[in-house]
Structure 1
């Protein structure tokens, strides 16, 4: 009923998946923006990282009904999947198993990842645990906060180490706030962080006395949709509204450029989700991650 096309060329993938990406630009924001970064040359691949692939899923009539990718530059290199029919998700699981791909974490849309992981465990044995449950939010009517001291400015090339440290702290801190012990995998290499800064996609909130107090980054618009993130404020600077002000300022810039704006937020982190809802973001889909403790992964 379904056919799968695994592709190693992002140009070919975009041409094949364009009907889906353009029809569902918010829900496909991760795949579209990551692929665009590959095309710009801003996606680094450390030594030992597997070669990236993209996936197009078609139904019996040839219509694109799903997509995925495995492009993460850092271990455990989790694949990512947008929503697709359950039978298609099962076919993806069987095909990855036949390809011999050792998948430890699967990220993407619910219930697709739940179905895919369940089928994988039928084939390989083992168990699965949830690493995170997130929601995809789209900005409807921006409510900009007032009275927050300081201002937003673009990050400088000499601030790569500062930004990288905050990006590395993002996962553990987000997990701590949500009451989890399994942090989100690292999100950027130093090279990709430097590329994002050079492109002007990373901004810092600076206090009135000139101290950087947090970071708000964004992914440029793909198919008309820009995605904010990551957003991080170190513990010593929290409680002053810097993150809310940074997200609002970046969102205003993106809206003024004609983009729709979205972001992901941890469903269990009531602090961050509360901020985004007050700014005017509304949840439109459930996403997350699952860790597989497969029998054929053990001992590796």
Structure 2
């Protein structure tokens, strides 16, 4: 993330670190003053120090993203300090690709990059995915570049008739890393291996582009997708929580 900010510009991002006795023990960032904070793992005293640093600064802190233990400790300390309420939005699993292992049997069809002519269709599938996950986001030609979907490159899995049946996106290669997001199969086409096929294809494309690490996040509430990615060679690295905060 810091490499991306360096390359593309910080756009008002706030970066901070905790230094004790000359050693950096943790870092955080906020992409803009009105965005939430993302933390690296911190111990109990360090969490209290960060809460003291952030509390009372404007504008209000709307959310926090952190590894599970740190996130839960931060929320507890934040509640004590500010009186704010907190609600768990989502639990995420972070996975990193080990040895890519295509499924057997592999569904018929082929992968192809989504082009300019596919833009409206890509946006429609992103709208469906955002609605499925309850995301409050407007996706159209005017807003596209400002959404989290806009910077990605997309790959289709097409059936033998050339009809797209699944889609996967990948963030640009930055700092040697590519993050796969999103992976989407329309509900009526699920259970046929298309999601696995497009994930394999987009992972291979990332490796071919020179990625040293290929990573993705999953919703831990979806055991099917978590099991799928592990079968394809993705290994669990950590569990993260996202809490929304509201002024008490």
TM-score relative to the length of structure 2:
0.83
Q: Which structure features the higher share of helix residues?
A: 1
After superposition, the CA RMSD in angstroms is 2.8
* 3-state secondary structure, aligned to 1:265: strand
Partner of residue 167 from structure 1, selected from 84, 105, 126:
126
Corresponding residue for 1:22? none
| Structure 2 equivalent of residue 70 of structure 1 | 30
Q: Which runs of 5+ in 2 are unaligned?
A: none
| Partner residue, 2:218 | 265
| Deviation (angstroms), 1:275 | 0.8
Q: CA 1:225 to 1:258, structure 2 compared with 1: closer, same or farther past 3 Å? A: closer
SS at match of 1:83: coil
Residue 282 (structure 1) aligned with residue 241 (structure 2): no
Alignment of 1:132-147 (within 5 A): 132-145=90-103, 146-147=105-106
What is the CA-CA distance between 1:263 and the residue it aligns to?
Answer: 1.0
Separation in 2 of the partners of 1:192 and 1:156? 19
SS at match of 1:196: coil
| Deviation, structure 1 residue 167 | 2.6
Superposed, which structure 2 residues align to 1:235-250 within 5 Å?
A: 235-250=187-202
When residues 158 and 271 of structure 1 are mapped into structure 2, their CA distance, relative to the original with a 3 A threshold, is same
Secondary structure of 2:151's aligned partner = helix
Which of 205, 222, 244 is the matching residue for 2:157? 205
Is it true that 1:196 corresponds to 2:151 in the alignment?
yes
Equivalent pairs counted in the alignment come to 242
Deviation for aligned residue 1:59: 1.9
**Residues in 2 aligned to 1:164 and 1:101: alpha-carbon distance in whole angstroms:** 32
Is the counterpart of residue 39 in structure 1 residue 7 in structure 2? Answer: yes
Return the match for 1:151 from 110, 113, 121: 110
- Tell me what 1:25 maps to: none
In the other structure, the counterpart of 1:112 is 70
Distance across 1 between alignment mates of 2:14 and 2:246: 24
2:79 corresponds to 1:121: yes
CA distance in 2, matches of 1:259, 1:266: 24
Q: 1:252 aligns with which of 193, 196, 204?
A: 204
**Contact 2:106–2:197 (8 Å) recurs in 1:** no
Corresponding position: 1:86 with 2:38: no
Q: Deviations over 1:142-169 (max 9, x none)?
A: 1112431222111112333322333333
Report the more deviating stretch, 268-277 or 80-89: 80-89
How far has the Cα of 1:171 moved from its partner? 4.2
What is the TM-score normalised by the length of structure 1? Answer: 0.70
- Give 1:203 shift: 1.3
Paired residues of 1:151 and 1:206 also in contact (CA < 8 A): yes
Post-superposition CA distance 1:218-274 (Å, at most 9, x none): 123333332211111121221221111111112123234352222111112011111
Aligned partners of 1:121 and 1:294 also within 8 Å: no
- Moved >6 Å (runs of 4+): none
Alignment of 1:58 onto 2:26: no
